[in-house]
């Protein structure tokens, strides 16, 4: 199985700007990428980073500056056999959670992200293609139906949690097992409760 | 195993007021309760509704008008043997997801909710007590450590999704298998995309 991790090497995670400045967001995105790739490697698969620009990384890098869906579809068109696409901001990813996906039966296996995204796809059908625009999990189910295949859904909070907004950092701080939670603590980001809801604050 | 489902029979789900009026919120909360209790029943366990007020329901009801944590702790104190506490607003609950909890090893088994809540607890240790105030999953881990027991965490998006706010309804509409999603569709609530993010709209 070929496992790719799409990564925005230019201006990642802009929605975290209330908490992290531009350089910090870039560094934090790299830490999350490391967490995801390390978790994939521990399942016994080598991750390939599908990057929008050149990247110095310890994993193989394929550079493609096309929009996300086009870049992923180019990989799907290039490869024979199973391809898994794992988002780079799944800071709670663990080998155990990923193994539940990689070992699942089915020609198209999904993990939905919160808000209708598609955080992990495992495509074993040669005609499956992605479109990450909008409520992608719904579109992906339709595309799978169009090519005559059933989909398998994996029920994982860890993999459903992509980190886009400050409140997502709450989940990283509460449940993170990799370096990502440590990076946040080192940068004085912590969980607080405001108006009965958990959010993050920065004490600097 | 004794399974209780705490339920606010008075003014449930106030944070859904941008989408549902007071009567609708009460009805919707009942539909979610039915979904949760039905899923529990399909695992082979009979749910008991732990209600803040009298309730006409097809399941056994225990009425306790104390605050949530006190009412649950009264159950934990009363019962010998394992007690599971499943929140009534887990609209995506399925028998499969609940079985992963009920069949898990460990003296204290948790499913964390988004934002640091504790959506399911399975307590097999006689001294474990709950406190749902604030970031309860963190407090519950500490309490388990205080009584000298390890905790087991179950990784489930379905059970991590408690329905409190309008954006949570997106998840129900996209992933709901029970009557809850149908109820929303019957009330003209649908998924839309605004500013690149999925939310709900009501077309009436």
A136 in a structural domain: yes
Residue B39, classed as helix, strand or coil, is helix
Model pLDDT for residues B92-111, shown as the tens digit of each residue: 999 999 999 999 999 999 99
Residue-wise burial string across A33-44, b where 16 or more C-beta atoms lie within 10 A, e elsewhere: bbbbbbbbeebe
Q: Is A171 in contact with B114 (Cβ distance < 8 A)?
A: yes
Confidence grade of residue B145 (pLDDT, cut at 50, 70, 90): very high
> What pLDDT band is residue B178 in, cutting at 50, 70 and 90?
confident
Q: Is the pLDDT of residue A141 over 80?
A: yes
| β partners of residue A5 | A49
Q: Is A14 on the interface with B (CB under 8 A)?
A: no
**Beta A2-7 vs A47-51: how paired, if at all?**
parallel
In a domain? residue A82: yes
Q: Is residue B104 part of a domain?
A: yes
For residue B57, give its domain range. Answer: 2-163
pLDDT at B2 over 80: yes
The predicted pLDDT at position A37 comes to: 98
Residue A194's pLDDT is 86
- Residue A204's pLDDT is 65
Cα torsion angle, A89, A92, A97, A98, sign: positive
Does residue A128 form part of some domain?
A: yes
Structural domain contains residue B200:
no
Percentage of chain B beyond pLDDT 70 is 100
A66 HSE (CA, 13 A, CB side): 11
Which residue among A96, A135, A153 places its CB closest to the CB of B198? Answer: A135
Average pLDDT rounded to a whole number, residues B102-121:
97
> pLDDT tier at B196 (50, 70, 90 boundaries)?
confident
For residue B151, the model assigns a pLDDT of 95
Rounded Cα distance between A51 and A33, Å, is 11
B175 touches chain A (CB under 8 A): yes
Average pLDDT over residues A51-58: 96
ipTM of the predicted structure? 0.96
Q: What number is the average pLDDT over the span B70-88?
A: 97
- Assign residue A143 the CATH number of its domain: 3.90.550.10
Whether residue B158 lies within 8 A of chain A, CB to CB, comes out as yes
Average pLDDT of chain B is 96
Instruction: Give which of B12, B2, B88 is closest to B46, Cα–Cα.
Output: B2
Query: Within a domain: residue B52?
Result: yes
- Strand (E) or helix (H) holding B99: helix B95-102
Backbone phi, then psi, for A153, in 5-degree steps? -105, 135
Mean pLDDT to the nearest integer, A116-129: 97
What pLDDT is stored for residue B204 in this prediction?
64
pLDDT digits (tens, 9 = 90+) for A85-107: 999 999 999 999 999 999 999 99
Is A187 within the bounds of a domain?
no
Residues in chain B within 8 Å Cβ distance of A198: 115-116, 134-135
Residue A195 confidence class, pLDDT cut points 50, 70, 90: confident
Q: Does residue A179 form part of some domain?
A: no
Q: Which of B135, B167, B197 sits opposite A198 (nearest CB)?
A: B135
How many domains does one find in chain B? 1
Q: Does the pLDDT at position B159 exceed 90?
A: yes
């Amino acid at each position: 199985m070929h496992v790719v991790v799409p990564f925005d090497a230019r201006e990642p995670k802009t929605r975290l700007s209330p908490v992290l400045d531009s350089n910090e967001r870039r560094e934090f995105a790299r830490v999350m990428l490391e967490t995801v790739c390390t978790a994939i490697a521990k399942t016994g698969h080598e991750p390939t980073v599908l990057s929008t620009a050149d990247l110095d990384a310890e994993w193989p890098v394929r550079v493609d500056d096309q929009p996300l869906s086009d870049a992923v579809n180019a990989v799907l068109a290039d490869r024979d056999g199973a391809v898994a696409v794992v988002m780079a901001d799944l800071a709670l990813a663990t080998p155990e959670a990923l193994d539940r996906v990689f070992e699942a039966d089915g020609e198209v296996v999904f993990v939905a992200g919160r808000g209708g995204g598609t955080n992990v796809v495992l495509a074993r059908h040669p005609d499956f293609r992605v479109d990450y625009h909008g409520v992608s999990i719904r579109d992906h189910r339709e595309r799978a139906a169009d090519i005559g295949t059933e989909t398998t859904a994996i029920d994982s909070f860890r993999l459903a949690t992509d980190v886009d907004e400050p409140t997502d950092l709450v989940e990283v701080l509460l449940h993170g097992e990799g370096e990502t939670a440590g990076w946040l603590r080192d940068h004085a980001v912590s969980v607080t409760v405001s108006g009965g809801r958990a959010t993050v604050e920065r004490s600097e």
